[in-house]
RNA sequence: GGAGGAAUGGCAGAGUGGUCGAAUGCGGCAGUCUUGAAAACUGUUGAGGGUCACACCUCCGGGGGUUCGAAUCCCUCUUCCUCCGCCA
């Protein structure tokens, strides 16, 4: 969520920047300012009332102590009205604070200046492309056909035991999954990220912390009996590790990597584009998360992009990098680069990584701060990215590495797989 | 799942109705001493709201209550510990 102080100071800038997301935030921002003013006015009145009654209480205490019970009882009568007032004011304050909070939750992050304006993915800006798109044999198959042909992923079996979008990986398919996870974790660890394992279920506070709640409530699986959510990404538990922390400047940079399954309801996604591994309810992902000093966060973002590039280079997959336009940018992000691998057999680009800087948007909800050189608390910047998401990398490998004799395993993965070919 | 105990500042730990945002120790920061470091000594050190700055207000796991007044009493929830049961 945006910082109140920033909205107060730079209202016009914020409204203007948000037009890149094709939203007119004027009404929301005005509402925030109105509620903020109301909140502060109420707070002041409450404070005054409390101060008065505190003073009286102190006086009463003194009187009792010095044996002037009669005078004390006289004063007691005066406190009744104050008590009533402060109760009323306290309720008003809570109501206004909640209202203010709710409006603030509705305002997305302010896009970075480099974010292009635009409505849809068509308007995303390609900033980099690398790798040769292979020429495949004439009867090249999409990955779901390959998965069936070599019996490495069974979608129907997943339907049987759970439902659509929950594939079962078998034999070399399962082994390749495990190989990718290990390979990604190793690469991330080498780059200075600390490997951690986190719970796959989180509580409501964590959902709010990183901004999945209340914005994307319907996209997460919710376990009603225990009021827990299945994580849609490791970003949620990993970033929330730091919730409420006040760091010291020398703690920076904080770098974590974690493998987790990810669960997404994907309500409203149907059709040809969701075939095979393209869109699943459960998939595996290795995530990288960084917490940075504000002055360093964009450098860190570039570093994360460079890191993911390096992995794709090693895998020898053709990919491109897009800078997301305002309309396609996630609610909480200030700047996002999407990585897409070219899926030759499907003749389309598949998103395999999304690397974002959230600036203080998440930190504000998380109350994730650090002490600056003057000893004042400041919000840190949070970033995260996939490094990498498994299913589409797998799809890319299957499709781009297919040969008439089978599917070749990328060289760097052979030591992890223990085989060179799926046939 | 059943029975009992507990939750206080970065950590440890006092505080059982008034002047307590909270003793003390450790840790952190600054300084003195030192060629430097360590030790010792001195000072300082929770968070948030509010203000030009003060004042002032809130916070002792969360929520509610009793009281003129609550860290302290009551209710409730959550978490942790011990014992029993179950169990990978």
Q: Match 């078998």 to its residue by tokens.
A: A170
Q: What is the rounded CA–CA span in Å between residue A273 and residue A225?
A: 34
> Structure tokens of A100?
């203010």
Nucleotide nearest to A47 (CA to C1'): B57
Question: In which element (H, E) is residue A354 found?
Answer: strand A348-359
CA-closest candidate to residue A397, choices A23, A147, A189:
A147
Nucleotide nearest to A80 (CA to C1'): B68
Instruction: Please state whether strand B lies within 7 Å of residue A219 at its CB atom.
Output: no
Distances (CA, A) of A210 to A189, A337, A395: 23, 18, 29
Instruction: Please state whether strand B lies within 7 Å of residue A78 at its CB atom.
Output: no
Q: What is the rounded CA–CA span in Å between residue A160 and residue A168?
A: 10
- Tell me A20's DSSP state: G
> Structure tokens of A36?
């903020």
- B strand bases under 7 Å from protein CB: 18-19, 28, 47-51, 55-58, 68-69
> Structure tokens of A61?
């205490």
Could you tell me whether strands A319-323 and A222-223 are parallel, antiparallel, or unpaired per DSSP bridges? unpaired
pLDDT tens, per residue, chain A with 423 residues = 999 999 999 999 999 999 999 999 999 999 999 999 999 999 999 999 999 999 999 888 888 877 787 888 888 888 888 888 888 898 899 899 999 999 999 999 999 999 999 999 999 999 999 998 888 887 889 999 999 999 999 999 999 999 999 999 999 999 999 999 999 999 999 999 999 999 999 988 899 999 898 888 888 999 887 888 999 999 999 999 999 888 888 888 899 999 999 999 987 666 656 688 988 999 999 999 999 999 999 999 999 999 999 999 999 999 999 999 999 999 999 999 999 999 888 899 999 999 999 999 999 999 999 988 878 889 999 999 999 999 999 999 999 999 999 999 999 999 999 999 999
Distances (CA, A) of A63 to A38, A71, A78, A343: 38, 7, 15, 84
Q: What are the helix and strand counts (H, E) for chain A?
A: 13, 19
pTM: 0.92
């Amino acid at each position: 969520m945006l910082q109140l102080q920033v909205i107060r100071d730079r209202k016009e800038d914020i409204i203007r920047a948000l037009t890149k997301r094709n939203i007119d935030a004027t009404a929301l921002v005005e509402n925030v300012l109105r509620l903020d003013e109301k909140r502060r006015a109420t707070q002041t009145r409450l404070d005054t009332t409390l101060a008065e009654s505190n003073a009286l209480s102190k006086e009463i205490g003194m009187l009792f102590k010095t044996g002037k019970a009669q005078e004390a009882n006289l004063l007691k009568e005066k406190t009744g009205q104050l008590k009533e007032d402060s109760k009323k004011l306290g309720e008003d304050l809570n109501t206004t604070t909640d209202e203010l909070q709710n409006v603030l939750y509705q305002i997305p992050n302010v896009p970075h200046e480099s974010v292009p304006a635009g409505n849809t993915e068509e308007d995303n800006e390609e900033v980099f492309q690398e790798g040769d798109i292979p020429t495949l044999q004439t009867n090249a198959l999409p990955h779901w056909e390959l998965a069936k042909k070599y019996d490495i992923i069974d979608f129907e079996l997943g339907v049987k035991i759970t439902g659509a979008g929950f594939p079962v990986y078998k034999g070399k398919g399962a082994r390749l999954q495990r190989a990718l996870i290990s390979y990604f974790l190793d690469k991330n660890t080498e780059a200075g990220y600390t490997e951690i394992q986190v719970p796959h279920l989180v509580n409501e506070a964590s959902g709010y912390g990183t901004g999945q709640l209340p914005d994307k409530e319907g996209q997460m699986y919710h376990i009603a009996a225990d009021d827990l959510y299945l994580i849609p990404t490791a970003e949620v538990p990993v970033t929330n590790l730091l919730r409420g922390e006040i760091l010291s400047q020398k703690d920076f940079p904080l770098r974590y990597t974690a493998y987790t399954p990810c669960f997404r309801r994907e309500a409203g996604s149907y059709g040809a584009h969701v075939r095979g591994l393209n869109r699943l309810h459960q998939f595996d992902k290795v995530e990288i998360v960084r917490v940075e000093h504000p002055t360093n966060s964009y450098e860190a973002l570039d570093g994360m992009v460079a890191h993911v590039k390096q992995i794709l280079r090693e895998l020898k997959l053709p990919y491109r990098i897009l800078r997301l336009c305002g309309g396609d940018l996630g609610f909480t992000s200030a700047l996002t680069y999407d990585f897409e691998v070219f899926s030759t057999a499907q003749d389309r680009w598949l998103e395999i990584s999304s690397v974002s800087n959230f600036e203080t948007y998440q930190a504000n909800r998380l109350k994730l701060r650090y002490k600056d050189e003057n000893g004042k608390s400041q919000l840190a910047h949070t970033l995260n990215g996939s490094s990498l998401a498994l299913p589409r990398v797998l799809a890319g490998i299957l499709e781009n590495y297919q040969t008439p004799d089978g599917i070749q395993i990328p060289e760097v993965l052979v030591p992890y797989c223990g085989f060179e070919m799926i046939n």
